Structure 1
């Protein structure tokens, strides 16, 4: 499909609007849960409230926008889909712009609602004073890896079974990532979630950590799942991706061969069982 044809499709613009609105709601929910409690204590609840908010809103947004745009709402997730050729370059670039716009709008709305503007500093992901940027980078990469691996596993199950069991798993994975990385880096796992508050507050300290870490972890998770752990994973599929061939065609052929092999093995077992019973 050409660029002009893609831009003329109503579905394309619906998906972009879904990513803007989804990112706005997601960032608003996470930042709202980080608002200082009574007495101005910024540490009230620690990372627990943001983790619960992130997990629950991810589940609800998955139901709202999953069929429209995939409810990605995260540039790292989008780049992982691009790296595994699940989406094309045009759609990936448009999704990332929409996600960053939605995140910035969400952070801006929350900033305008704050009675004390100084409290907006708690919105910005920061490297722990007890650690360093390298440790925060590693935690962001690890947390995003487990999140994106879960997303790819859920997507594979949906393609094979056509069911809708995975939004809860993604929500749990996101909440767990915020909990175990929150003390070190804030548990962003989402460059747009970090970019929006940085634009609104003007605080850019160690901002590169929240792009490189999540993107690295997401791409590693997507590639490892698609080409090593998925049911249709094969050397031919990896070579097809590296040589810009049709990955879906190779995957379909691989699954077909696997299904044929399973049918053949089942027939052989049945024949041996009948022969044994006859004897």
Structure 2
């Protein structure tokens, strides 16, 4: 990406889409955590359903504009696998954090009881230590981001499978698994907004290192080991900052460059027969 793209309408539409998408996502998750008048705090079912349904809706609305990443961990995983350039990643992460802070502040202003904002914050339970919560966040984020990369890979191959629905299910599964042990943030922006509003920063680093590390591991493992285009040459190209698209085309669907060339030759022959 060049600096000229900063002046394009498409770039700022993508940045605004990340801001609005994260704002909607965090608002839905935090709103599902607040108990109603006279109600006891609910379990992980409400936020699990809220995050899954909202992810599907946000991906439908903003997927063609920015990819609907709405998560700094996902953005950094795309950056690590060279699916996203550095300048765009910086603006996306900034927009995501800003959207999360705006949604947290707006919900805090409309709460009838300000003490209810404690439900917003991701906390390490007393029965666990920070390292255990870090492991839970890493595992939950790994399965979620791996699903994101798999759905994106199928979309590039024009697969008829509903990728957005799979990603929504992966978010729901992550919350159901880890909500009781770490809060199942899986999204640093979702943790940053409430922490900034309430001033609660204890073990805040867990909800950055865990999701980011899990996301990067998921992205790298999918792109270079499990994807149809995965190959050792593709990994070497990524590590040496070479053009990864040429290697990916050569290894796509497990074929070699000679096989791709042969397929092109067959298509040309068929075209010539049609012309004759």
Superposition TM-score, scaled by structure 2 size: 0.91
Mapping 1:117-156, distance limit 5 Å: 117-156=114-153
- 2:230 maps to 1:233: yes
Q: 2:87 is matched with which residue? A: 90
Q: 1:34 is matched with which residue? A: 33
Shift of 1:58: 0.2
Q: 2:2 is matched with which residue? A: 2
Q: 1:23 is matched with which residue? A: 22
Shift of 1:156: 0.5
The DSSP-based 3-state class of the residue aligned with 1:184 is: coil
Q: Is the 8 A contact 2:228 2:253 kept in 1?
A: no
Mapping 1:127-276, distance limit 5 Å: 127-161=124-158, 163=160, 165-255=162-252, 258=255, 261=259
Superposition TM-score, scaled by structure 1 size: 0.90
Q: Is the 8 A contact 2:228 2:254 kept in 1?
A: no
Count matched residues: 262
Q: Is the 8 A contact 2:238 2:244 kept in 1?
A: yes
Q: 1:276 is matched with which residue? A: none
Q: Is the 8 A contact 2:78 2:84 kept in 1?
A: yes
Shift of 1:106: 0.6
Task: Determine which of 84, 89, 108 is the counterpart of 1:111.
Answer: 108
Q: Is the 8 A contact 2:73 2:188 kept in 1?
A: yes
The DSSP-based 3-state class of the residue aligned with 1:91 is: helix
Shift of 1:161: 1.6
Distance (whole Å) between structure 1 residues aligned to residue 232 and residue 101 of structure 2: 41
1:199-245 deviation per Cα after TM superposition (whole angstroms, max 9, x unaligned): 01111111000000000000000000000000000010000000001
Shift of 1:179: 0.7
Distance (whole Å) between structure 2 residues aligned to residue 87 and residue 80 of structure 1: 9
The alpha-carbon distance between structure 1 residues 106 and 83, as it changes in their structure 2 partners (threshold 3 A), is: same
The DSSP-based 3-state class of the residue aligned with 1:207 is: coil
Q: Is the 8 A contact 2:25 2:54 kept in 1?
A: yes
1:136-182 deviation per Cα after TM superposition (whole angstroms, max 9, x unaligned): 10000000000000000000000012546100000000000001000
Question: Structure 2: which 5+ runs fail to align?
Answer: 263-276
Distance (whole Å) between structure 2 residues aligned to residue 70 and residue 166 of structure 1: 12
Q: 1:50 is matched with which residue? A: 47
Distance (whole Å) between structure 1 residues aligned to residue 50 and residue 147 of structure 2: 19
The alpha-carbon distance between structure 1 residues 235 and 169, as it changes in their structure 2 partners (threshold 3 A), is: same
Question: Structure 1: which 5+ runs fail to align?
Answer: 265-279
The alpha-carbon distance between structure 1 residues 157 and 256, as it changes in their structure 2 partners (threshold 3 A), is: closer
Shift of 1:197: 0.5
Shift of 1:101: 0.2
Task: Determine which of 59, 72, 82 is the counterpart of 1:62.
Answer: 59
